[in-house]
Chains A and B, each alone.
Chain A
Amino acid sequence: MPAHSDVVTTRAEELAGPGATRALRRRRLGRLVRRKGALAGLFGLLLVAVVAIFAGLITKDPLEQDIANGLAPPFWAGGSLEHPLGTDALGRDIAGRLALGARVSLEISTAAALIGALLGLVTGSIAGFFRGWTDTVLMRLGDIQLAFPFILLAIAVLGVIPDRKPIHLILVLGIPGWIVYARVVRSRVLAEREKDYVLAARSLGASRPRILVRYVLPSVWQVIPVIAMLDLGFLVIVESTLSFFGFGITPPTPSWGSILADGRQYMVVSPWLPVLPGIAITFTVLSINLTADGLADVLDPKLAIGTFRRQILRLPGAAIALDEEARLLRVRDLRVDFSLEDRVVHAVRGVSFDLGRGETLGIVGESGSGKSVTALSIIQLLDAPGRVVDGEILFDGRDLTRISDRAMAGLRGRRIGMIFQNPSSSLTPVLTVGFQLVETLREHLGVAQAEARRRARAALVGVGIGDPDRVLRRYPFQLSGGMNQRVMIAMTMACEPDLLLADEPTTALDVTTEAQILEQLRELTRGSRTSLVLITHDIALVSQYADVVLVMYAGRVAERGPADAVIADPKHPYTKALLAALPHVDMPSGARLEPIPGELPDPADPPKGCPFAPRCPFVMDVCREVDPEPFVVGSDRTAACHLWAPERSEAVAR
């Protein structure tokens, strides 16, 4: 379900609003801690670090020899508490040696990881930003290096150094790591440099180094910590391996690898000797990797958002009687919440409307108005954080919020269709358009292959595609966005659903194509075959194609009524203001638009009372306190505005 989850996760982020992002970041540490694996990893790593830091203080001197007391067993195997983990052949304290080994191991690995990260950041960003031969040379160098066994190289270099100090190991382990970082950084830089803000900086005269350092790098370096963490685990193992083979730090300074190598010789006499450093290595690397996983989750919050799951409403419905008019769709007091980590966003707050057979309902609203969420609730495709919490959606007598998943799946496509705004994500890229179209028609209409193919061609012609056979043979990625959208629309319409939900169906298309497709949709509603819900931000579109219009603002219906009447004589101040703020071609030249002052309300924190009150020119005291209910303002018209409250409406002569 990629298309749908796409739609809703972005919407969830949109809903969270600008203020929420910062709050989200503040909670990242909290999230890291809440993940059990990451917590365990972090704790283990901390433990190793504490031991390493206080190595000399909490244990005995690891270099002091006491040959008389050699190969003492750990305390649980009969040894004394003076040497809790026993001693080696020279009588040196194992606990002390392991602790000092931890320090050596972590020091070398951490420093090496930092060097690799720094080199990789520099080379990767230069390669990605400047492209051309710099890029080619750097990346091919990396390829060559990766083709050569890294450990052999390290051994060759370390073998010729007689007195190996930590710095030697740090350089030998750190420098070759650059390529791992460089590749990731390069691909991130390649993506960032195409963004408009880089173009803007260029147009302002910023030099290329300045663009790279001040503009691009700040959005790129975040990939480093996760790779560095994984790299760290790898380096701990490599360092141990090298010292195991005698290419580590020159003795007597202990390292886990050399302790393991020493112990191997006395395995029969003192079996714990090689096991203990082994445990230390495994424990440390496991802790590091668990922490890295947690870090990746934290830095990419999208991983934390749940996946699609429909929830059946358990509340008893009000059981509205279906009248003899046989309305196809009745929505009553629909409420949708998005439960975010720290709060609940009420995206739809009590929406009600009716839709008759063959009718077209236009839902107009700006971002955050709840118009798309309403549509997704009807077809029951709301994504994870979003949930219908109350209300009823009666479709042909059945409450969609309360029927089983199977029953709902049977309705989707066949009786309720939906067209999304983004065409490219709605078709499968690996199958031809023809296959997808024909299969869908066979499945939903139960017709034979030849008949399905005939209908598919007809459907494509219907949306203005001149040579349907060519399009049927193509894969979606071979067609333009506009063409894919037409295919989607053709597919949905060919199933002749009773109810068609079209969410900004033509927003991505050009005006000439838009007109064609909307005419086609209108054709479909003729003869009461299909009822259409047309969701758009474009009030002019609705005025031309809808019978009834619903103007939504901040999750509420501001105004409802016949489209002609609402456009000609808007009753709600928001509708009025929206029309006055619309630049249209029939405007006399020199006329000035009247913008709506202020900003759209934050969906997570709508104002008290009427949501439009802070921007309303007619605001009264009551508006800031009480959210108005929909008052009747004419035949089949309502407006949720206190100006139209029965006791006040006579006084208003507007």
Chain B
Amino acid sequence: MRPPLVEVRDLRKHFVVDAGRLSRARRVVPAVDGVSFSVSAGETLGLVGESGCGKSTLARALLLLDPPTSGEILFAGVRLTERDVGRLRRRAQIVFQDPYASLPPRMRVQAIIADPLRIHRVDRAEIPERVRQLLRDVGLKSDVARKLPHQLSGGQRQRVGIARALSVQPALVIADEAVSSLDASVRAQILNLFKDLQERHDLTYIFISHDLGVVKYMSHRIAVMYLGEIVELAPADELYREPLHPYTRALVSALPSLGRRGGRIRLHGEPPNPSDPPPGCKFHPRCPLADERCRRERPPLREIVPGRWSACHYAEEVPARMSEGAA
């Protein structure tokens, strides 16, 4: 295992919102609530969870686009502070979900990719060749450079977004639902492109998606988020083969899978409101295993077997007890 490129320790991002129109009270929404993990150089860490679980907030906090409330981020072993923003901008990049909104509508592709190079003072004479190279790298023809975003297909736009992210030669790329709005026949092209680029440029990825199939395909390890916390972290294969957290188990069994019918764990209740999380284990109101302890005590993320972490008081018993429940 190579040394970690990114280490996150007890990261929190809390938003303060007005409690009501007439009240002066403020309420704190813990969008990211004490998250710790690390990503090795060259690794892909998948981040999966349902809407509102805080995965996008985590991505933005990591890049200091929305500075975290507390916690530490170490990049290549060095602790990041607000003053390191400039340095971080060359080492870490993000690819967004919506290829329509993430490209400036009135800028030509050439300018979109060249602008970061100008910002980082690349020799002007070199820029056109670098742009051509980047376009080739993401599988676009050079005539795309003269086009405006709306003249491109969704897949082409996402390739431009990737080329733009790679223009500053980053070490870390965060893909935030980067293939979720693409058509199925184009999605696989972009996923494979991400894989090829990782190999070619020795990239480290944090791959965020709500789609468990996509995350599994892309990731070496996967972190499952629920209401601002990581509830399970495990190597990709093992996570799907035998989840050690009841939520992961429900998530995996809810997946529509080709040809398989039935045999799923039904969750009760609704996904809770992130601004008003339940006490104790945040999953307890929907958990089939929940008991008195879960309602009181917040379970820490602990290593159950080497390399496998779960934030459940009964993690060791999850496989046995939940397969009974599903039958």
**Once the chains bind, are A203 and B107 in contact (CB under 8 Å)?**
no
Which of A516, A582, A583 gathers the greatest number of chain B CB atoms within 10 Å? A583
- Complex CA gap A537/B186 in Å reads 12
- Among A195, A483, A519, chain B packs the most CB atoms within 10 A around the CB of A195
- In the assembled complex, A202 has its CB within 8 A of some CB on chain B: yes
Instruction: Tell me the smallest distance from the CB of A532 to a CB of chain B, in Å.
Output: 16
Contact B192 A595 (CB under 8 A): yes
**A541 interface residue (CB < 8 Å to B):** yes
Chain B residues with CB under 8 Å of A541's CB are 256
Q: Do the beta carbons of A578 and B264 come within 8 Å of each other?
A: no
Closest to A563 in B: B259
A80 at the A/B interface (Cβ < 8 Å)? no
Chain B CB within 8 A of A592 CB = yes
B299 at interface by CB-CB < 8 Å = no
Minimum distance in angstroms from B324 CB to a CB of chain A: 20
Contacts known (A585-B212, A593-B188); A543 close to B161, Cβ less than 8 A: no
Known: A205-B86, A206-B115, A583-B188. A516 touches B94 (CB 8 A): no
Whether B142 is near chain A, meaning CB under 8 Å from some CB there, is no
CB–CB A219/B104 < 8 A: yes
The reply to whether A205 and B213 form a contact with Cβ atoms under 8 Å apart is no
Q: Are A585 and B184 in contact (CB under 8 A)?
A: no
Min C-beta distance of B48 to chain A, whole Å: 10
Asked if A512 and B271 sit within 8 Å, CB to CB, the answer is yes
Pairwise interchain contact B185-A577, C-beta atoms closer than 8 A = yes
Determine whether A337 belongs to the interface, using a CB cutoff of 8 Å to chain B: no
Per-residue interface assignment for chain A, residues 573 to 590, with 1 indicating a CB less than 8 Å from any chain B CB and 0 otherwise: 000011101111111010
Q: A583-B211, A595-B191 are in contact. List 11 more A-B contacts (CB 8 A).
A: A201-B104, A204-B93, A205-B168, A210-B119, A218-B105, A219-B106, A511-B210, A564-B259, A583-B191, A592-B192, A599-B155
Taken together as a complex, chains A and B put the C-alpha atoms of A596 and B155 apart, in Å, by 12
Check B50–A586 contact: CB distance below 8 A: no
Q: How far is the CA of A549 from the CA of B164 in the complex (A)?
A: 40
Q: Which 8 interchain pairs have the tightest Cβ spacing?
A: A205-B89, A595-B188, A581-B188, A510-B50, A218-B106, A196-B102, A583-B217, A366-B183
Q: How far is the CA of A545 from the CA of B262 in the complex (A)?
A: 10
Q: Is the CB of A600 within 8 A of B185?
A: yes
Contacts of B50 in A (CB 8 A): 510-512
Residue of A nearest to B86 (CB): A205
A199 touches B183 (CB 8 A): no
5 contacts between A and B (CB under 8 A): A199-B60, A203-B93, A482-B271, A596-B185, A600-B183
Query: Does the CB pair A202–B150 fall under 8 Å?
Result: no
User: Of A17-25, A282-290, A640-648, which stretch is located at the interface?
Assistant: A17-25
| A-B contacts, CB under 8 A, total | 201
Q: Does A544 contact B (CB under 8 A)?
A: yes
Contact of A585 among B165, B183, B195, B213 (CB under 8 A): B213
Q: Is A578 in contact with B217, judged by CB distance below 8 angstroms?
A: no
Q: What's the minimum C-beta distance from A321 to chain B, rounded to whole angstroms?
A: 36
Contact with B254, one of A466, A511, A538 (Cβ below 8 angstroms) = A511
Q: Determine whether the beta carbon of B269 is less than 8 Å from that of A512.
A: no
Q: Is the CB of A583 within 8 A of B269?
A: no
Contact residues of B between 91 and 106, Cβ < 8 Å to A: 92-94, 96-98, 101-106
Q: Does A343 contact B (CB under 8 A)?
A: no
Query: Is A241 an interface residue when CB atoms closer than 8 A count as contact?
Result: no
B-contact bits for A186-222, CB 8 A (1 contact / 0 none):
0000000001110111111111001000110011000
Which residues of chain B are near A586, meaning CB under 8 Å?
Answer: 257-258
Q: In the bound complex, do residue A600 and residue B186 qualify as a contact, i.e. CB atoms below 8 Å apart?
A: yes
On A, residues with C-beta under 8 Å from B are: 18-19, 21-22, 195-197, 199-207, 210, 214-215, 218-219, 366-367, 464-466, 482-483, 510-516, 518-519, 537-541, 543-545, 564, 567-568, 577-579, 581-587, 589, 592-597, 599-600, 615
Do A587 and B186 touch (CB < 8 A)?
no
Complex contact A513–B271 (CB within 8 A): yes
Q: Which residues of A contact B97 (CB under 8 A)?
A: 196
Contact B258 A203 (CB under 8 A): no
Q: Is the CB of A21 within 8 A of B151?
A: yes
In the assembly, what is the distance between CA of A23 and CA of B151, in Å?
Answer: 11
Docked Cα-Cα span, A214 to B115, in Å, equals 9
- Complex formed: what's the CA distance from A596 to B186 in Å? 7
With A366-B184, A512-B50: A584-B213 Cβ-Cβ less than 8 Å: yes
Main secondary structure on A side of the interface with B: helix
The docked-state distance in angstroms from the alpha carbon of A219 to that of B107 is 9
Residues of A within 8 A of B254 (CB): 511-512, 514-515
Q: A18-B153, A366-B183, A595-B188 are in contact. Are A568 and B259 (CB under 8 A)?
A: yes
Give the shortest distance, in Å, between B88 (CB) and chain A (any CB): 9
Q: How far is the CB of B247 from chain A (nearest CB, A)?
A: 9
Give the complex CA separation of A215 and B103 in angstroms. 9
Chain A residues, CB < 8 A from B165: 200
What is the minimal beta-carbon distance from A35 to any residue of chain B, in angstroms?
Answer: 24
* Chain A residue nearest to B241 in the complex (CB): A585
State A538–B103 Cα separation when bound (angstroms): 27
Distance in angstroms from B168 CB to nearest chain A CB is 6
**Could you say which residues of chain B place their CB within 8 Å of the CB of A581?**
184-185, 187-188
Given known A-B contacts A195-B101, A600-B183, A511 and B96 have beta carbons under 8 A apart? no
A592–B189 Cα distance when bound, in Å, is: 11
B200 to A: closest C-beta gap in Å: 15
Structural contact, B107 and A218, CB atoms closer than 8 A: yes
Please measure, in the bound complex, the distance between the C-alpha atom of A583 and the C-alpha atom of B240, giving whole angstroms: 14
B126 within 8 A of A: no
* A593–B212 CB distance below 8 A: no
Residue in B closest to A577 when the chains form the complex, CB atoms: B185
- Pick from B155, B156, B270, B271 the residue with the most CB of A within 10 Å: B270
Given A511-B212, A512-B254, A595:B96 Cβ within 8 A: no
Query: Is A543 touching B259 in the complex (CB atoms < 8 A)?
Result: yes
- Given contacts A197-B103, A218-B104, are A22 and B151 in contact (CB under 8 A)? yes
Interface centre among B165, B255, B264, B266 (most CB of A within 10 A): B255
Which residue of B92, B214, B256 is within 8 Å of A543 (Cβ)?
Answer: B256
Q: For B269, list chain A residues within 8 Å (CB).
A: 466
Which of A205, A538, A540, A596 meets B119, CB within 8 Å?
A205
The residues of B that contact A21 with a CB separation of less than 8 Å are 150-151
The residues of B that contact A543 with a CB separation of less than 8 Å are 256, 258-259
Instruction: For B251, list chain A residues within 8 Å (CB).
Output: 511-512
Is there an interface contact between A585 and B255, defined as CB atoms closer than 8 Å?
yes
Q: Mark B211-240, 1 if CB is under 8 A from A, else 0.
A: 111101100000000000000000011001
Task: From the candidates B102, B184, B259, name the one contacting A578 in the complex (CB within 8 A).
Answer: B184
Rounded to whole angstroms, the CA-CA distance of A157 and B152 in the bound complex is 54
Residues B188 and A596 in contact, CB atoms below 8 Å apart: yes
Find chain A residues with CB under 8 A from B188 CB: 581-583, 593-596
Complex contact A204–B119 (CB within 8 A): yes
Give complex CA distance A214, B257 in Å: 46
Measured between beta carbons, the chain A residues less than 8 angstroms from B105 are: 197, 218-219
Residue from the set B161, B187, B250 with the largest chain A CB neighbour count within 10 Å: B187
Q: Which of B246-287 contact A (CB under 8 A)?
A: 250-252, 254-261, 264, 266-271
- Chain A residues lying within 8 Å of B270, measured Cβ to Cβ, are 464-466, 482-483
User: Which B residues touch A215, using CB under 8 A?
Assistant: 104, 107
**In the complex, which residue of chain A has the Cβ closest to the Cβ of B117?**
A204
**Interfacial chain B residues near A513, Cβ < 8 Å:** 271
Contact of A199 among B96, B106, B268, B271 (CB under 8 A): B96
B63 within 8 A of A: yes
- A585 to B252, Cβ gap below 8 A? yes
Contact B236 A589 (CB under 8 A): yes
Residues of B within 8 Å of A200, CB to CB, are: 94, 96, 102, 161, 164-165
Q: With an 8 A cutoff between CB atoms, is B65 at the interface? A: yes
Q: Is B27 an interface residue (CB 8 A)?
A: no
User: Are A595 and B216 in contact (CB-based, < 8 A)?
Assistant: no
Give chain A residues whose Cβ lies under 8 Å from the Cβ of B101.
195-197
Q: Which residue of B lies closest to A582 (CB)?
A: B184
CA distance A483 to B251 in the complex (A): 19
Which A residue sits closest to B260, measured CB to CB? A544
**B136 lies within 8 A of chain A by Cβ:** no
CA distance A484 to B152 in the complex (A): 34
